[in-house]
C-alpha cells in the first residue's frame, strides 16, 4: 500500500536518508583515527563525509595518502597533510567506501574510477575499514565491475574480457582507460582470477575479503560493525 500524503511528508527523501547514513558511517570511522597515524584516504561520496569528520578532530601528526586528485585536493583544503604513498610507506589505517558489499565479504569498488589506487592503498595498510550506507549491502555482487585497462590494444583486451565497454571518461591519473565488465559476477574469486590473468587489464574492482579489517554500515538504526578477514593489526581489535 502506498503511503498517504501526510505520511509521505513525514518521511525524509531517500537521498537525504542515504546522506545521513553515509555521514554516520564516516563519523564512526573517523573515531578510529589516532594522533600520528599514517592514513589512507579513499575516494567517493561517503569519503566526502569522512574528510571533514577527521579534520574537525584536530589530530596531531596525522599524515595521509590520497587515492585520487579529488580526495587530495579536498583533504588539503581541510588542512589535512597529504603526502605521496611511497614517502609514508606502510599505512596504519585506510578508510574507503564501496559500491557493493556481499555477505561473503567481497566488495565491488571503482564506480568513481579510482579502484587501482584504492586497492594499492588498502593493501598498503595494516587495517582497512570500509564505510557505507545500508543500500550498499547486497545479497550477491552484480555488474558492472569496474576495470582499468592499458590503452595499447584496448579493443583486443576488451574482446578477451567478455562483455565489457569503455566508459566515456578521461584517462585515469596514471594513464589507464576505464571500462566496465557487464556479465554476471558469479563466483567473485573465479572472476577475479580470470580478470587478473588477462594482459592489458591493469586492475579490476573486486576486493577480496582478506583485504578488509572492518565494515561499518549505517542504517536507520545506527552503525553496524562487521569484522573482515584481515587480522593483522591496526588497533581495531
The residues carrying an active-site annotation are 118
Q: Which residues pair with 38 in a beta bridge?
A: 63
Q: Is the peptide bond before 144 cis (omega within 30 degrees of 0)?
A: yes
Here the cell at position 189 is: 574469486
Place of cell 569519503: 47
d(CA 169, CA 224): 35
Q: Which residues pair with 39 in a beta bridge?
A: 64, 93
The stretches of the chain forming alpha helices (DSSP H) are: 5-10, 14-30, 47-55, 69-77, 85-88, 115-123, 154-161, 188-196
Phi, psi at 68, each rounded to 5°? -155, 155
Contact of 200 with 157, CB cutoff 8 Å = yes
Amino acid at each position: 500500500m502506498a503511503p498517504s500524503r501526510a505520511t509521505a511528508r513525514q518521511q525524509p527523501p531517500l537521498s537525504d536518508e542515504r546522506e545521513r547514513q553515509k555521514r554516520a558511517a564516516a563519523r564512526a570511522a573517523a573515531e578510529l583515527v589516532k594522533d600520528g597515524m599514517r592514513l589512507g584516504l579513499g575516494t567517493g561520496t561517503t569519503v566526502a563525509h569522512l574528510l571533514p569528520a577527521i579534520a574537525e578532530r584536530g589530530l596531531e601528526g596525522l599524515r595521509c595518502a590520497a587515492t585520487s586528485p579529488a580526495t587530495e585536493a579536498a583533504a588539503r583544503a581541510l588542512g589535512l597533510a597529504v603526502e605521496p604513498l611511497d614517502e609514508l610507506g606502510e599505512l596504519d589505517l585506510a578508510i574507503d567506501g564501496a559500491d557493493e558489499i556481499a555477505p561473503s565479504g567481497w566488495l565491488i569498488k571503482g564506480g568513481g574510477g579510482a579502484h587501482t589506487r584504492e586497492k594499492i592503498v588498502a593493501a598498503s595498510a595494516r587495517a582497512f575499514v570500509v564505510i557505507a550506507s545500508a543500500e550498499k549491502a547486497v545479497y550477491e555482487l552484480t555488474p558492472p565491475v569496474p576495470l582499468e585497462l592499458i590503452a595499447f590494444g584496448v579493443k583486443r583486451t576488451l574482446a578477451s574480457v567478455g562483455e565489457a565497454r569503455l566508459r566515456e571518461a578521461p584517462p585515469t591519473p596514471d594513464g589507464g582507460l576505464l571500462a566496465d565488465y557487464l556479465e554476471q559476477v558469479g563466483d567473485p574469486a573465479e572472476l577475479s582470477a580470470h580478470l587478473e590473468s588477462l594482459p592489458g587489464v591493469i586492475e579490476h574492482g573486486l576486493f577480496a575479503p582478506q583485504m578488509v579489517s572492518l565494515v561499518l554500515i549505517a542504517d536507520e538504526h545506527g552503525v553496524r560493525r562487521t569484522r573482515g578477514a584481515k587480522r593483522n593489526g591496526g588497533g581495531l581489535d
